């Protein structure tokens, strides 16, 4: 149920920079035989090494995510015919409840793996760290799973309130244990930049689970039990395979010191994850209480559009960035790389947000019933919130590399409290727009607080001039669309298309400098060469 990827055959991080004065084919030590300043091509190669690596692997991850979304879309008609709305509700409650318990039980261990993996000095140390993390997580998950199995009758009555609720929870806790068992092997693949292997494994698991779902849900008509049986069988197969792979790759070893260090680092992160849960989902409960389920439906539809930039923009990037950022931060040239990556990611998210925001109104009017059309008004607000939500990944790096995770725990409690207060004030008065504004404001306040505190702990430069120019443009384009008195679909699509093309032209001609335009052309050429190579092999 999670994705995976492939690494460099040399076993490195894939982020080695090509130093000036040495070509890719030169042997070690060839630098000493060169004289004179580096050429333009050598400087460009050094400048773009990290960006090209991140972009290449993010493209692989994005392909895997897109395939998962497409599979879910294809299966939607089958699920909606053979699962009732009550079945969907049960599965959602099961997932939320067990994820909540799992977040606490995991003591933020996964968050610690990348940090300590980057800090490890030699391959033996890295292997011992991964093995220790796997053993620790399995033991913690086993304890939580055992407690969950014992508490299943109580949880079934309290959370689901349906006959068979205890059985659902028992099965789901076993599924949770299997998913936890594959977590560290997947993190290990990401740490080694094995993006292709990561994606292929997850796609294989997805196809297996979908085939089993068709059998259990459509053929045997087992409903919720069919979905759980499918997850159980697929989880057993792939967790077993990944566990064998991990043992063969890193062996079995345990370090009490490493275990204590990771738990000490990760435990405060639990508060951060729980605060994220509150910030993301609490507005639905307030809306349901004050405005009813219809408002929740409209808001949820708008939120799906806002989440598109996360699913296809940030998530593929973060699958590469999360394991690599610690190593990059430790390098002499890490400051410049982090600044450039932040600027380019912001540009990507802003462009994606503008594209979604410009066309959301027409798409909603085409695809949704009239009672859902009001969702279009709040999509731009939610897109802004999503960008701020993902921005915080960068300043919190200052806190993570200094191992001040307790600071994040305190900030999490503060920002979650502010988010709840904003929901309580704005939603009763303004409904779905109040929920959207509360979300945007909460994420803006969270980012500002984390940024200020993080800069005092360890300062990074983020190139705000570049980002500000881009977002002035994006805000202007969205303002034109929102203020234009157009209510018909075709003229709206024409205007949106014109604004989108204008935005692309201005970004290329005004926002990017000559160096960045060269980088963009180089990346486009690389993608084109690879596409032609694939066609040629076919």
Helix (H, G, I), strand (E, B) or coil at 122: coil
Q: How far apart are CA 117 and CA 134, in angstroms?
A: 13
Helix (H, G, I), strand (E, B) or coil at 405: helix
Q: What angle do CA 179, 325, 262 make, to 5 degrees?
A: 50
What is the model's pLDDT at position 371? 83
- Report the chain's C-alpha Rg in angstroms: 24
Split the chain (538 residues) into runs of 10 and give each run's mean pLDDT: 34 32 35 42 52 78 79 68 77 80 78 88 92 93 92 87 84 90 92 90 89 90 90 93 94 93 89 87 87 84 89 88 88 85 92 93 85 89 95 93 90 93 95 94 96 94 91 94 87 93 92 81 68 55
pTM above threshold 0.85: no
Q: What is the per-residue burial (b if ≥16 Cβ within 10 Å, else e) of 324-352?
A: bbbbbbeeeebeebbbbbbbbbbbbbbbb
DSSP category for residue 218: I
Give yes or no for a contact between 231 and 168, defined as CB atoms under 8 angstroms apart.
no
CA torsion sign for 440, 421, 275, 86 is: negative
Q: What angle do CA 466, 316, 54 make, to 5 degrees?
A: 60
Helix (H, G, I), strand (E, B) or coil at 392: coil
Give yes or no for a contact between 15 and 341, defined as CB atoms under 8 angstroms apart.
no
Q: How far apart are CA 435 and CA 447, in angstroms?
A: 18
What is the model's pLDDT at position 24? 34
CB atoms within 10 A of CB 503: 22
Token pair listed for 228: 């759980």
Q: How far apart are CA 114 and CA 140, in angstroms?
A: 19
What is Dmax (Cα atoms) for the chain? 79
């Amino acid at each position: 149920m999670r994705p995976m990827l492939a690494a460099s055959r040399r076993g490195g991080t894939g982020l080695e920079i090509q130093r000036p004065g040495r070509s890719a084919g030169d042997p070690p030590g060839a630098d000493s035989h060169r004289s004179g300043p580096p050429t333009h091509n050598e400087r460009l190669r050094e400048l773009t090494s990290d960006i090209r690596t991140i972009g290449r692997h993010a493209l692989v991850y994005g392909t895997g995510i897109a395939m998962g979304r497409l599979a879910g879309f294809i299966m939607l008609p089958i699920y909606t015919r053979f699962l009732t709305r009550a079945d969907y509700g049960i599965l959602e409650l099961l997932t939320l409840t067990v994820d909540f318990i799992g977040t606490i039980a995991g003591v933020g261990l996964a968050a610690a793996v990348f940090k300590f993996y980057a800090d490890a000095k030699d391959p033996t140390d890295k292997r011992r760290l991964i093995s220790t993390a796997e053993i620790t997580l399995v033991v913690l998950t086993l304890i939580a799973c055992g407690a969950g199995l014992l508490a299943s009758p109580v949880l079934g009555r309290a959370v689901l309130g349906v006959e068979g609720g205890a059985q659902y929870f028992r099965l789901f806790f076993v599924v949770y244990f299997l998913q936890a068992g594959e977590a560290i092997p997947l993190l290990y693949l990401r740490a080694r930049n094995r993006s292709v292997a990561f994606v292929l494994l997850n796609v294989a698991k997805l196809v297996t689970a979908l085939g089993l779902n068709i059998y259990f849900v459509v053929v045997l008509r087992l409903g919720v039990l069919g979905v759980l049986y499918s997850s159980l069988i697929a989880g057993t197969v792939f967790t077993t395979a990944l566990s064998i792979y991990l043992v063969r790759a890193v062996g079995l070893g345990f370090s009490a010191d490493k275990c204590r260090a990771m738990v000490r680092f990760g435990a405060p992160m639990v508060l951060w994850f729980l605060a994220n849960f509150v910030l993301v989902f609490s507005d639905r409960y307030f809306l349901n209480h004050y405005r009813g389920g219809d408002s929740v439906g409209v808001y949820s539809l708008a939120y799906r559009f806002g989440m598109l930039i996360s699913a296809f923009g940030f998530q593929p990037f973060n699958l590469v960035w999360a394991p690599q950022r610690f190593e990059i931060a430790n390098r002499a040239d890490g400051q410049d790389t982090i600044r450039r990556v932040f600027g380019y990611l912001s540009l990507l998210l802003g462009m994606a947000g503008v594209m979604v925001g410009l066309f959301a109104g027409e798409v909603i009017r085409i695809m949704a019933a009239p009672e859902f059309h009001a969702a279009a008004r709040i999509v731009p607000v939610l897109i802004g919130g999503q960008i701020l939500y993902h921005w915080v990944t960068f300043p919190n790096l200052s806190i993570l590399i200094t191992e001040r995770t307790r600071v994040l725990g305190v900030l999490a409690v503060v920002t979650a409290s502010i988010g709840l207060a904003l929901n309580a004030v704005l939603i009763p008065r303004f409904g779905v727009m109040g929920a959207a504004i509360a979300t945007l404001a909460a994420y803006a306040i969270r980012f500002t607080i984390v940024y200020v505190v993080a800069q005092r702990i360890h300062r990074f430069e983020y190139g705000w001039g570049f980002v500000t120019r881009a977002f002035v443009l994006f805000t202007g384009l969205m303002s034109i669309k929102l203020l234009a008195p157009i209510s018909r679909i075709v003229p709206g699509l024409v205007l949106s298309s014109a604004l989108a093309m204008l935005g692309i032209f201005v970004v290329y001609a005004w926002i990017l400098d000559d160096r960045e335009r060269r980088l963009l052309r180089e990346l486009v050429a690389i993608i084109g060469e690879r596409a032609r190579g694939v066609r040629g092999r076919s």
